[in-house]
Chains A and B, each alone.
Chain A
Amino acid sequence: MIKKFFHQFASPKSYFAIANKFGKPVLVFFFLLYLGALVWGLFFTPPDAIQGDSYRIIYMHVPASFMAQILFVVMAITSAVFLIWKLKLAAYVSKSIAPIGAIVTFFALFSGSIWGIPTWGTWWQWDARITSTLILFIMYLGLISLHASFENKDKADKFFSVLVLIGVVNIPIIKKSVDWWSTLHQSASITLTSKPTIDPVMLYPLMFSIVTFIGLIFGLVVLSSQNEILKREKYKSWVKNI
């Protein structure tokens, strides 16, 4: 039964139907919740003892940086699924993640720069964390242009997926960069192994902003993948009947 469910869900047609039903409501739902998280973080939390009010950009910077990395991991998983099982839907999803990942990564870099000016006294330094995130941004752009440069889209999917798998090694490097080398960027406040070094009054809105941002971005990915399905399968009879 599970196998049957997967077979059904994996066909672009039934995925499209489900996505069409739930995609937009989920996106709007998480968008509103994320706005709520921002309001909570910006207006209903105390300032930081050292950084004052400038730390509040954490409620944008951390969700964006987190999603920038998670999206690449998701893209690597869908790419591997595409390469192994030849599942077209997985390739469509992979391809539609790339532009969203690029925007989110840009936002992570941008918000980090804004945060850096009042705290570090500089908006850009070539330390390991910042540089590896810039590489992530460039990889997203490279993937987008690689896919666009192929006339034959099936071939594009294949090369795209292989490049994603090569690039995914950058993700643990970004994650561990602050521990492996000396950096200007501080190390992680929230880890799986030890107690968060951020006070609960700030931790809860931060967690809420991360969770709602995940929902918001995945909503966008679903919408974008619907678009990709329509584009790629436009000659199929079920698309013509929409």
Chain B
Amino acid sequence: MKKDRKKRLFGVLLIIGSSCLGIGLILYALNSNLDYFLTPSEIRQSDESVVLSSNTRVKLGGMVKKNSFFINENKVNFEVTDFEDSIQVIYEGLLPDLFKEGKGIVVLGKYNDGIFYADEVFAKHDENYMPPNLELD
């Protein structure tokens, strides 16, 4: 390879390398702030922190605990679990079509005294696709 081309190749690698390094450092610094939701155990552990004061809206994500769903005075009650800890959720409104016990869920709302008051509920579907007759459970 000619000398000037080698120099330019080095320049190209330098641009890509420094870009990777810069963005990498930013992402490393932001790390968990880029998470879309908190798990029940994360919310419990940071109970006292300012972030989870009763006026801040946070997102809680996990699985809808089996046999935890019931309706009481027009309000939906269920528990969100990450199989270590679970949090009781109370919500008034329409649930997405894919809402189901044992399936992924993200709720947006306020956490107060061990109960999560949800304003919005999103269903999280997984990466498995199969025809209905092959469903195992």
Question: Which residues of A are in contact with B by a Cβ distance under 8 Å?
Answer: 46-51, 55, 58, 80, 83-85, 118-122, 125-128, 162, 165-170, 173, 180-184, 186-189, 197-199, 201-202
B135 in contact with A187 (CB, 8 Å)? no
B19 in contact with A48 (CB, 8 Å)? no
B127 in contact with A187 (CB, 8 Å)? yes
A58–B95 CA distance with the chains assembled, in angstroms: 23
Closest to A120 in B: B122
Task: Identify the 3 closest CB pairs spanning chains A and B, nearest first.
Answer: A121-B96, A46-B131, A127-B36
- Other contacts beyond A120-B98, A186-B124: 18, CB < 8 A: A46-B133, A50-B98, A50-B135, A51-B125, A84-B12, A120-B96, A125-B122, A127-B36, A128-B34, A128-B35, A162-B15, A166-B15, A166-B16, A169-B19, A169-B20, A182-B61, A184-B122, A199-B134
Pick from A55, A168, A169, A173 the residue with the most CB of B within 10 Å: A169
A133–B18 CA distance with the chains assembled, in angstroms: 22
Q: Chain B residues near A119: list those with CB within 8 A.
A: 96-98, 123, 125
Pick from A122, A128, A199: contact of B131, CB under 8 Å: A199
A166–B18 CA distance with the chains assembled, in angstroms: 8
Q: Chain A residues near B128: list those with CB within 8 A.
A: 189, 197-198
A49–B16 CA distance with the chains assembled, in angstroms: 44
Q: Chain A residues near B34: list those with CB within 8 A.
A: 128, 180-181
Closest to A203 in B: B129
Q: Mark each residue of chain B from 101 to 137: 1 if its CB lies under 8 Å from any CB of chain A, else 0.
A: 0010010000000000000111111111111111100
Pick from A127, A181, A198: contact of B129, CB under 8 Å: A198
B19 in contact with A47 (CB, 8 Å)? no
Q: Does B5 contact A (CB under 8 A)?
A: yes
Question: Which residues of B are in contact with A by a Cβ distance under 8 Å?
Answer: 5, 8-9, 11-12, 15-16, 19-20, 23-24, 27, 32, 34-37, 39, 61, 95-98, 100, 103, 106, 120-135
A122–B15 CA distance with the chains assembled, in angstroms: 38
B35 in contact with A49 (CB, 8 Å)? no
A180–B39 CA distance with the chains assembled, in angstroms: 15
Q: Chain B residues near A167: list those with CB within 8 A.
A: 19
For the complex, would chain B's binding face be called helix, strand, loop or mixed by DSSP majority? mixed
A120 in contact with B124 (CB, 8 Å)? yes
A186–B36 CA distance with the chains assembled, in angstroms: 12
Pick from B11, B97, B106: contact of A184, CB under 8 Å: B106
Q: Chain A residues near B133: list those with CB within 8 A.
A: 46
Q: Chain B residues near A198: list those with CB within 8 A.
A: 127-130
Taking the closest CB of chain A, its distance from the CB of B136, in whole angstroms, is: 9
B19 in contact with A166 (CB, 8 Å)? yes
Closest to B135 in A: A49
A49–B130 CA distance with the chains assembled, in angstroms: 6
A220–B97 CA distance with the chains assembled, in angstroms: 38
Closest to B8 in A: A84
**Given A58-B129, A119-B97, do A183 and B36 touch, yes or no (CB 8 Å)?**
yes
Pick from A49, A84, A168, A173: contact of B5, CB under 8 Å: A84
Pick from A121, A166, A169: contact of B121, CB under 8 Å: A121
B5 in contact with A120 (CB, 8 Å)? no
A186 in contact with B130 (CB, 8 Å)? no
Q: Chain B residues near A128: list those with CB within 8 A.
A: 34-36
Closest to B5 in A: A84
Q: Chain B residues near A186: list those with CB within 8 A.
A: 124-127
